[in-house]
C-alpha cells in the first residue's frame, strides 16, 4: 500500500512508520504544523506539535529513509479544535480536544488530503486494532490495556477506518516499543510522552480560558438555589471539582462540596455533596458508529466516559435520533460535553457527545 505516516515527533508514531516500512509498504512521513507560533517549544512532557517535535519527526524519517514533509494545518486546527474548545466552555460543557483533533484533523482533513494524493491509508502510532468482522471492519481495543487509545478513536466512522493503519495495536507493552525504537537507532526512543492539552503547554487552562472567554463574577449556589459563595468566572469550573471553590457558607454536615453543574447563561456554579455526582443516565444526539451502524432499539453495552476510566455495563436506547444510556452502577461526575464511547467487549460500537445527565440522587436527598 501507499501509506502516509503521521509523525508527531514521538516514539509511537516513529515506530509505527518503521513497521510500515518493514512491512513493505511505500511510506511517506508527514508532520502536522498545528500552530503558527514559531517559538513554541516543548517543556518536558507538556505540549506537542512543537518545533522540537517537528525536528524529531524529520530525524526519524531520515533514519528510516523515507520522504518527509511538514503540512500546515494550523487554520483547521484553530477553527475545528481550539475554537470548538472555547465555545464548548462558553456553553458550560467540558470538551475533549483530543477527540476533536482525531475527528476533524488527523482522520478528516489529513485523511482527505492523503486520499486526494493517491495514498491508501494514514498510519498513526495509536494503540488500537482493526479486525475484519462479520459486518465489516471493526475497531477494537489494543493488546496493552494500559496504553489502549480506542476511546479517543471512537469518533472514527466506517469509511475512515477503511483507510487507517495502526501498527502498534497488538504490541504487548509500551516498553517494547521503546526498546524497538532504540534498536532501530531512533533518537526519540526515550522521549517523554506528551500529555495535557497540547495548545496549553503550561497547563494553566483556567488562565488560558480567562483570556478568551473573559472573567465575570457570579454566584455559587447549592442544590436548592441558595447563594453560598461567589466566583470570578464560571468557565474556570468543571463538574467534579472540589478545590478553589472559596465558599463562604459551610455545608450543614461539614463535608466538602463539589461542582455539580455549570450554568453559563446565568453565570452560576452549582455545588453539592460528593454523592450527588452520581449520574444515573446520560443522553445525546451527536453520535456516530465505528463500523456498522447500530439499529434503533435497546441494546446492552459497556460505556466509557473518559480516556482512562473503567468501562461500565449499561443499557443503551437509540430512538428518534437520540441515544440514551443507563449504567448498571451510576457514573461518577459526568459533565455535558464529555464523550461517551460504547463497547461490545473489545469492539468499539460508537460514541456520542453527552448533552444531558440525570443525577442518581434527588435534590431533597
Cα–Cα nearest to 38, from 57, 18, 54, 61: 54
Cβ atoms of 139 and 158 closer than 8 Å: no
**Collapsing DSSP states into helix, strand and coil, what is residue 150?**
coil
Residue 221, φ and ψ in degrees, nearest 5: -125, 160
Which of 98, 101, 123, 301 is the catalytic position? 101
Question: What is the gyration radius of the CA atoms in the chain, in angstroms?
Answer: 22
CA–CA dist 10, 342 (Å, integer): 29
Q: Per residue in 112-137, is it b (16+ CB within 10 Å) or e — as a string? A: eebeeeebebbbbbbbbbbeeeeeeb
CA-closest candidate to residue 141, choices 351, 353, 343: 343
123 classed as catalytic: no
Q: Indicate which residue of 49, 98, 198, 301 is catalytic.
A: 198
Has 198 been annotated as catalytic?
Answer: yes
Could you tell me if 14 and 7 are in contact, meaning their C-beta atoms sit under 8 angstroms apart?
yes
Positions marked active-site = 101, 198
Amino acid at each position: 500500500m501507499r501509506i502516509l505516516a503521521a509523525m508527531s515527533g514521538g516514539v509511537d508514531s516513529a515506530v509505527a512508520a518503521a513497521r510500515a516500512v518493514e512491512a513493505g509498504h511505500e511510506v511517506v512521513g508527514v508532520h502536522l504544523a498545528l500552530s503558527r507560533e514559531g517559538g513554541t517549544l516543548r517543556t518536558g512532557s507538556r505540549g506537542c506539535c512543537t518545533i522540537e517535535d517537528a525536528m524529531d519527526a524529520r530525524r526519524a524519517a531520515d533514519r528510516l529513509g523515507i520522504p518527509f514533509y511538514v503540512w500546515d494545518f494550523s487554520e483547521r486546527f484553530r477553527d475545528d479544535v481550539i475554537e470548538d474548545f472555547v465555545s464548548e466552555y462558553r456553553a458550560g460543557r467540558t470538551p475533549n480536544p483530543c477527540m476533536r483533533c482525531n475527528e476533524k484533523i488527523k482522520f478528516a482533513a489529513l485523511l482527505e488530503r492523503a486520499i486526494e494524493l493517491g495514498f491508501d491509508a494514514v498510519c498513526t502510532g495509536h494503540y488500537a486494532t482493526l479486525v475484519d468482522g462479520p459486518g465489516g471492519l471493526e475497531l477494537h481495543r489494543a493488546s496493552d490495556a494500559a496504553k489502549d487509545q480506542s476511546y479517543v478513536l471512537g469518533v472514527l466512522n466506517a469509511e475512515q477506518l477503511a483507510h487507517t493503519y495502526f501498527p502498534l495495536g497488538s504490541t504487548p507493552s509500551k516498553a517494547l516499543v521503546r526498546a524497538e525504537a532504540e534498536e532501530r537507532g531512533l533518537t526519540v526512543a526515550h522521549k517523554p510522552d506528551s500529555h495535557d492539552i497540547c495548545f496549553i503547554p503550561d497547563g494553566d487552562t483556567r488562565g488560558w480560558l480567562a483570556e478568551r472567554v473573559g472573567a465575570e463574577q457570579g454566584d455559587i449556589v447549592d442544590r436548592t438555589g441558595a447563594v453560598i459563595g461567589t466566583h470570578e468566572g464560571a468557565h474556570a469550573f468543571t463538574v467534579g471539582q472540589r478545590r478553589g471553590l472559596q465558599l463562604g457558607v459551610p455545608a450543614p454536615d461539614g463535608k466538602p462540596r463539589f461542582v455539580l453543574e455549570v450554568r453559563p447563561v446565568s453565570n452560576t456554579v452549582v455545588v453539592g455533596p460528593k454523592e450527588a455526582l452520581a449520574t444515573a443516565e446520560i443522553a445525546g444526539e451527536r453520535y456516530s458508529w465505528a463500523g456498522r451502524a447500530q439499529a434503533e432499539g435497546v441494546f446492552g453495552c459497556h460505556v466509557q466516559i473518559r480516556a482512562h476510566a473503567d468501562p461500565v455495563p449499561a443499557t443503551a436506547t437509540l430512538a428518534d435520533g437520540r441515544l440514551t444510556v443507563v449504567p448498571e452502577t451510576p457514573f461518577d461526575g459526568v459533565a455535558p460535553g464529555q464523550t461517551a464511547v460504547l463497547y461490545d467487549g473489545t469492539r468499539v460500537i460508537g460514541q456520542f457527545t453527552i448533552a444531558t445527565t440525570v443525577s442518581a440522587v434527588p435534590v431533597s436527598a
